[in-house]
Chains A and B, each alone.
Chain A
Amino acid sequence: MRYLLLIYENEQAFGGLPEAEQGQIFGEYMDFSRSIRQSGNYVTGEALQPTTSATTVRVKDGKTLATDGPFAETREQLGGFYLVEAKDLDEAIKLAARIPAARTGSIEVRPIMPTPPVD
């Protein structure tokens, strides 16, 4: 079963860290990604640009409405994600707990809903 691990963190706090520390955390992410590739859990994963670059889009009465900023202003922001393959929620939780941001922010674990393939 596939799970999406959403990485929430205070992006300002991260941006405020000294460069050396940011580099160290980046290295931890590289190690984690490599490790879950080897174990066969990795499907895909990306880091996101900060929410200052986010645009939220809605269509109301056929009109497209684009507004500056993320969907919701929260204390922690979506900063990236992994899509992983895990046998059950317990394994997915164990993977989520190894993401560096689990110590400073939070990881939301969402099972992927099975849908028929698109031709």
Chain B
Amino acid sequence: MDFESLYRDERPRALATLIRLLGDFDLAEDALQDAFAIAIVDWPARGVPKSPRAWLVSTARHKALDRLRRARTLNAKRDEIARTVETVVAPAGLDEEPFTDDLMRLLFTCCHPALSPEAQVALTLKTVCGLSVEQIARAFLVPPATMAQRLVRAKGKIRDARIPYVVPSAEDLPPRLQGVLRVVYLVFNEGYAATTGASLVRGDLCVEAIRLGRLLRELFPASGEAEGLLALMLLQDSRRTARTDAAGELVTLEDQDRSRWDREEIAEGVALAEGALRRGGALFYPLQAAIAALHAQAPRAEDTDWPQIAALYALLLRLHPSPVVALNHAAAVAMGERLERGLRLIEQLEQDGALASYHLLPAAKADILRRMGRREEAAAAYERALRLVTHEAERRYLGRRLREVGGAP
């Protein structure tokens, strides 16, 4: 019996249902932990129950009651919980549907806009993915005590401000689902391109994010955005191991060894991206996935369909305007051999000022100037980028480029 994968598969839905039954995140997590501790002894001896999830919920429910009884501070609130728990339907009556509804409730509560983005990410990783406080703290490079505090505060706000444990109404669902997808993409990006620290890739977070992406696609089969996000993450993840060389140095898309790209992830990502695009609509993630798919399908860097990528960025910019999308659009225009026009777009962004502290703005400008052979101006722009960059591997990359155009870092 593969207890670990069973734990991973059953835990999120069982926990989501327990939180609804018990009305308390901590009590539900502790009680489910108790139930797993029993299962690990009981199941190998007596066999896995017919419905492991129902068994876990039922056992955890009893353990929660034990915990409530043991707690001497039985106040009115706890009595009320205990009564609710006792009147809950028998486990035999628990079929698949309520479990899935509960998992949606859990996701929407963890990703509620009234919680800070950091808290949403931490809470999702803790409850839905089942990561420990230590694991989450390590991934986000904060002390465990800080992360624990963040989780306590988030759960406190859910309780005190009464953030409801519900799936939003049809009218509120699209923006709220977009919020959940944003949290998942935040997790992925934190793993893919760590903003600080020495390790460029913290792959575990990418694996968790893709697992969440698959779950969301399963829960919301009608959502093109969910399909597009999974496609985007798979396509980016296909390049994960090729992004750094043996010495841990950053390798840009242009210079990557494309034989190291994960073909399976590309095939799945491309198929999903095409499916998501066919649904139509002004979709944020499918458009980005389409751009990633074009990169993934180019056998060599020089085969990249830059005009098509620039056109997709132009569309993305019109539907979902942001300075970062504008920068990507400018860079794609320049790569499509319209260097002058790309440079003009970047200069407009500089005047705009929204990206004043973003190192990739001068880095992109430097890159275009280097390609145009304007070495001195390129060196000045690389120097500006170096003053803003925080990531070590990116700093070394920019330093190498600066030396190439004759500057001294």
A and B from one assembly? yes
Please indicate the chain B residues that have their CB under 8 angstroms from the CB of A109 in the complex: 161
Please indicate the chain A residues that have their CB under 8 angstroms from the CB of B161 in the complex: 89, 109, 111
Contact across chains for A93 and B114 when beta carbons are under 8 A apart: yes
A31 within 8 A of B: no
Q: Which residue of B is nearest A3, CB measured?
A: B161
Interface size class of B (residues with CB under 8 A): 10 to 19
Report A90-110 residues with CB < 8 Å from chain B CB.
Answer: 90, 93, 109
Q: What is the minimal beta-carbon distance from A7 to any residue of chain B, in angstroms?
A: 18
Contact across chains for B164 and A90 when beta carbons are under 8 A apart: yes
Q: What is the minimal beta-carbon distance from A20 to any residue of chain B, in angstroms?
A: 34
Complex interface bits, B171-193 against A, C-beta within 8 A gives 1, otherwise 0: 01000000000000000000000
Q: What is the minimal beta-carbon distance from A38 to any residue of chain B, in angstroms?
A: 21
B162 within 8 A of A: yes
Report B111-170 residues with CB < 8 Å from chain A CB.
Answer: 112, 114, 160-164, 166, 168
Interchain CA distance A1-B162 in the complex, whole Å: 8
Q: What is the minimal beta-carbon distance from A6 to any residue of chain B, in angstroms?
A: 14
Please indicate the chain A residues that have their CB under 8 angstroms from the CB of B112 in the complex: 89
Please indicate the chain B residues that have their CB under 8 angstroms from the CB of A68 in the complex: none
Q: What is the minimal beta-carbon distance from B199 to any residue of chain A, in angstroms?
A: 38
Interchain CA distance A1-B168 in the complex, whole Å: 19
Contact across chains for A88 and B160 when beta carbons are under 8 A apart: no
Please indicate the chain A residues that have their CB under 8 angstroms from the CB of B162 in the complex: 1, 88-89, 111
Q: What is the minimal beta-carbon distance from A54 to any residue of chain B, in angstroms?
A: 27
Q: What is the minimal beta-carbon distance from A27 to any residue of chain B, in angstroms?
A: 27
Interchain CA distance A87-B166 in the complex, whole Å: 12
Further contacts, 4 of them, CB under 8 A, given A89-B112, A89-B163, A109-B161: A88-B163, A88-B164, A88-B166, A89-B162
Chain B residues near A (Cβ < 8 Å)? 112, 114, 160-164, 166, 168, 172
What are 16 residue pairs bridging A and B, where the CB atoms are less than 8 Å apart in the complex? A1-B162, A87-B164, A88-B163, A88-B164, A89-B112, A89-B161, A89-B162, A89-B163, A89-B164, A90-B164, A90-B166, A90-B168, A93-B114, A111-B160, A111-B161, A111-B162
